[in-house]
Structure 1
Amino acid sequence: MKRLGLAVAAVLMSASVGFAQSGEVRLSKEPFAVNAERLSSYLQLTPGQYNEVANINAYFIEKQNESIKSSSKLQAKKMHQAVYGNLKLMKKTLTSEQYRKYVVLLNITNNNNRLMGINAIPDVYLADNK
């Protein structure tokens, strides 16, 4: 009976160690680095929209990197400009239904990032553009 208890304890310990290793969080300085293929599938983009969204996403990542590299005083302002610029470009490219889904996706991602302790943007940036 003792052996069975020790075996169960060993299995539980190894499972918890495996879970802890697979659950490692990579801290990203880019809160919204989106995979364009997954986004295309989720939003059901046309081929023309796909190219445009991929370009907008690359531009958004570039602007986020600029905000991260700037001084702490300018960081919030530059992130604000990056988010609003992204949303403005996406609104022109996507249909109203696709845009609504995109904003919901950004909000969910932002909330998850905040819960995991990863960089997140203030809610006011996303709330104004619904």
Structure 2
Amino acid sequence: MKRLFLLVVAVLSMTATFAKDEKVNNVNNVEAYDMTVNYYRLGETLGLNIDQLEAVEDIHRTFCADMMNAANTNKDDRQAVVEKAINKDLKYMHYVLTDNQYRKYVMLLNVTLNNRGLNK
């Protein structure tokens, strides 16, 4: 009886582990598209003035929403939606930032996308 109980516990543990790993993979995929940042630190890094910081926050919130939409898009269309969101973000940021700030922003964005596996 004791062996049967241990066998049942072992089987349930393995099943729970596999289900947990599958759920973690889905969560990690969605978390990769969460592009929220600390705007204060971004402003310090880029050397933004108060007006630029407000504009960057608005633009980046839109970018975050576009990336979350990409996370919920079907797999076939996802890359196109991500590219469109990135291009739109870069276009708007170019209007607000100076050339030096824009170069730093592009570098930070590329590093972030590479680290999250979204830049293919």
Same fold (TM over 0.5): yes
Deviations 1:6-63 (A, max 9, x none): xxxxxxxxxxxxxxxxxxxx94232532221110010010111000000011000000
Counterpart of 1:75 (choices 74, 78, 85) is 78
1:69–1:112 CA distance, 2 compared to 1 (3 A): closer
Query: Which residue of structure 2 aligns with residue 3 of structure 1?
Result: none
1:121–1:111 CA distance, 2 compared to 1 (3 A): closer
Q: Does 1:95 align with 2:98?
A: yes
Matched to 1:56, the amino acid is: I
Q: Which moved more, 1:105-114 or 1:67-76?
A: 105-114
Q: Using the aligned pairs only, state the percent identity.
A: 30
User: How much is the aligned-residue C-alpha RMSD, in angstroms?
Assistant: 1.6
- TM-score normalised by L of structure 2: 0.70
- TM-score normalised by L of structure 1: 0.65
Report the secondary structure of 1:82's partner residue. helix
Counterpart of 1:34 (choices 18, 34, 37) is 37
Structure 1 gaps of 5+ residues are 1-25, 115-119, 123-130
**8 Å CA contact retained: 1:31, 1:110:** no
Query: Which residue of structure 1 aligns with residue 54 of structure 2?
Result: 51
Matched to 2:50, the amino acid is: P
Aligned length in residues: 92
Runs of 4+ in structure 1 off by over 3 angstroms are none
Query: Which residue of structure 1 aligns with residue 108 of structure 2?
Result: 105
